[in-house]
Structure 1
Amino acid sequence: MTINEAKGVYAIAVTPFHDDGRINLDGIGRLCDFYAEAGACGLTILGMMGEAQKLDAAEATEVIRRFMAHSSVPVVVGVSSPGFAPMQRLAQEAMALGAAGVMVAPSANLRTDDQIVGYYANVLDAIGSDIPLVIQDFPLAQSVVMSPAVIRRIVNDNPACAMLKHEDWPGLDKITQLRAWQADGSLRPISILCGNGGAFLDLEMARGADGAMTGYAFPEMLVDVVDRARQGDIEAAMDIFDVHLPLVRYEQQPGLGLAARKYVLHRRGVLSSEAQRRPGPELSPAGKGEVELLLKRMSRHDPRANIG
């Protein structure tokens, strides 16, 4: 299955570090096993929550190499960059190493619809029009607003556009509009996977999303919600989602949310260290106490949160 047909959960993988800031390359295999065991049907690496901006070029290539060597599911690689030259290098290296596609967010200086459409045409001209492309629509981070009409233009003009990573907020009506255009044939089919830490995943699935491309300390929950929704049982999906919503909300905190996620993954034995590479905030003792309280409360309804 190509990524334009992707359904399910593409987990945004964290990048494991040692306490001193070195990349824990040996820990990548354990991460791949964890996400596969959780039911993820794909991985996305070197995204914002993968701390890609803190890696140099050689480190980024080696991280891709390690994930590709261990992953049993398709891998999408984030290659966003202020310049096309480093984007091209990383995209072509990723594909040579076996990636299923690459993800690019719009440059933050884009303002008009024509600028946004032109930017993605230039991206594909730079990296290669045969590389499957994931459009990252995350206006809260990039300050670039892509209307449904702009997304339709980009997708229809560029056959390599295979997936939308939908992270608009509010953005539920955008999913409805895109699906309506796909139904009437004015937008060719692409996969729509949703991000934002899963904060609206239950409702996004009800609007017609194909799944999630996001991270969370319990990716099993994301898989369960998507599976129930795809089976047509939105109420069951919401029941599962509601149990985890307090921790999902906690992970929404800019910067600190990744610290919370890594703390829980460390507590679960997935990471050998909860460290982020500097600069990056750390959870205070009070913050860790709050996360522990949330885990305790979650465990009353989901035994997976009972991590000792």
Structure 2
Amino acid sequence: MSFGPATKGVYPIAATPFHPDGALDLDGVDRLTDFYQEAGATGMTILGIMGEAQKLEPEEAAAIARRVIARARVPVVVGASAPGFAAMRRLAREAMEAGAAGVMLAPAPHLRSDEQIAAWFAQAVEAIGPDVPWALQDYPLTLSVILSVPMIARLMAEHPSCVMLKAEDWPGLEKISALRRLQAEGRLRPFSILTANGGLFLDLEHGRGADGAMTGYAFPDMLVELMDLHGKGEKEAAHDLFDAHLPLIRYEQQPGVGLSARKYVLMRRGVIACDVQRRPGPPLSAAARAEVDHLLRRLARKDGRAAF
């Protein structure tokens, strides 16, 4: 399935459903896969930070990848980041053999200098294979690695197999504009830019040159509609839709409890049976659940998808 420099649309970051005891819920994986596709997603991204990939056994990660890829009718990008290159190589190989469209790589948190970053990615690409399409995850808020515009341009020049930037620096609007400017000047090859950060700036990122979204907001159907409105030039309607959802987007983007809120909304939508995170992971307090319920009721006044 197509995954390349011209990729556009919405690639939801998938949650990973668990049973109350923390065991993997594979039936829930099937329901989530169907849900994202029925929402109109262009593709899916699994085993990312939102997918709690760091809490999974290697066999569990491979099982999820095979399950989603076998069921999906859209391209599936598999998060292959790992502390060591052996684990990265294994998951990337298993995912691609199962039919993945590509993988996503995030820089190791210990990297600091540009030379360290460049050397690490050279080794990572060697590990997964230079023929494997991959997305570069730029997420300094969590990963603590700063990828400057010149550094991103260098990585794109050195690794033709990198076909996408997952842009989630904050603030990142000027970074998107700077990269697109270099491309317009012929100093940087084409690649797709999909944005994240829970969709917090998705109302403006399209105008800066973003091709779509790769984020985990619990209303991916809204993200699809938003991108369609932008594509049709209906800017004010797009902003109105975004404004209605912004309070819940903001709530879901909180560090720590944001994933709990997101999984709670997915449970309320009937997509997953249980909103538990695998430990360590904070559950939502009764007060937080009441706040999310309040936001959903307010949202339902403007968007019927929130009226459960």
Distance 1:291 1:66 in 2: 31
After superposition, what is the alpha-carbon deviation per residue over 1:96-146, rounded to whole angstroms, capped at 9, x for unaligned?
111111111111111112221222111111110000011000000111111
Report the CA distance between 1:88 and its aligned residue: 0.7
| 5+ long unaligned stretches in structure 2 | none
AA partner of residue 248 (structure 2) = L
Q: Which moved more, 1:166-175 or 1:234-243?
A: 234-243
What SS class does the counterpart of residue 130 from structure 2 fall into? Answer: coil
Q: How many residue pairs were aligned?
A: 307
Pairs within 5 Å for 1:180-259: 180-259=181-260
Please tell me whether residue 283 in structure 1 is matched to residue 279 in structure 2: no
Question: Aligned residue for 1:269?
Answer: 270
Question: Aligned residue for 1:58?
Answer: 59
The 8 Å contact of residues 102 and 133 in structure 2, kept in 1 or not, is answered as yes
Question: Aligned residue for 1:133?
Answer: 134
Distance 1:115 1:185 in 2: 27
After superposition, what is the alpha-carbon deviation per residue over 1:29-72, rounded to whole angstroms, capped at 9, x for unaligned?
21111101111110000000001011001111101111111111
Distance 2:270 2:146 in 1: 39
Distance 2:26 2:61 in 1: 11
AA partner of residue 179 (structure 1) = R
The 8 Å contact of residues 44 and 76 in structure 2, kept in 1 or not, is answered as yes
Q: Which moved more, 1:190-199 or 1:28-37?
A: 28-37
Please tell me whether residue 39 in structure 1 is matched to residue 67 in structure 2: no
| 5+ long unaligned stretches in structure 1 | none
Distance 2:202 2:249 in 1: 11
Pairs within 5 Å for 1:166-185: 166-185=167-186
Distance 1:88 1:148 in 2: 27
The 8 Å contact of residues 3 and 102 in structure 2, kept in 1 or not, is answered as no
Distance 1:236 1:149 in 2: 35
What SS class does the counterpart of residue 214 from structure 2 fall into? Answer: strand
Report the CA distance between 1:160 and its aligned residue: 0.3
AA partner of residue 296 (structure 2) = L
Question: Aligned residue for 1:107?
Answer: 108
Distance 1:125 1:115 in 2: 15
The 8 Å contact of residues 132 and 161 in structure 1, kept in 2 or not, is answered as yes
Report the CA distance between 1:303 and its aligned residue: 0.8
Report the CA distance between 1:232 and its aligned residue: 2.3
Distance 1:232 1:178 in 2: 23
What SS class does the counterpart of residue 76 from structure 1 fall into? Answer: strand
Identical aligned residues as a percent: 60
CA separation of 1:114 and 1:233: change in aligned 2, threshold 3 A? farther
Two-structure CA RMSD over aligned residues (Å): 1.0
Distance 1:232 1:184 in 2: 25
Distance 1:47 1:101 in 2: 13
AA partner of residue 96 (structure 1) = E
Question: Aligned residue for 2:8?
Answer: 7
After superposition, what is the alpha-carbon deviation per residue over 1:136-176, rounded to whole angstroms, capped at 9, x for unaligned?
00000111111111111100111101100000001100100
Question: Aligned residue for 1:48?
Answer: 49
Report the CA distance between 1:265 and its aligned residue: 0.8
Report the CA distance between 1:20 and its aligned residue: 1.0
Question: Aligned residue for 1:294?
Answer: 295
Report the CA distance between 1:226 and its aligned residue: 1.3
AA partner of residue 89 (structure 1) = R
AA partner of residue 265 (structure 1) = L
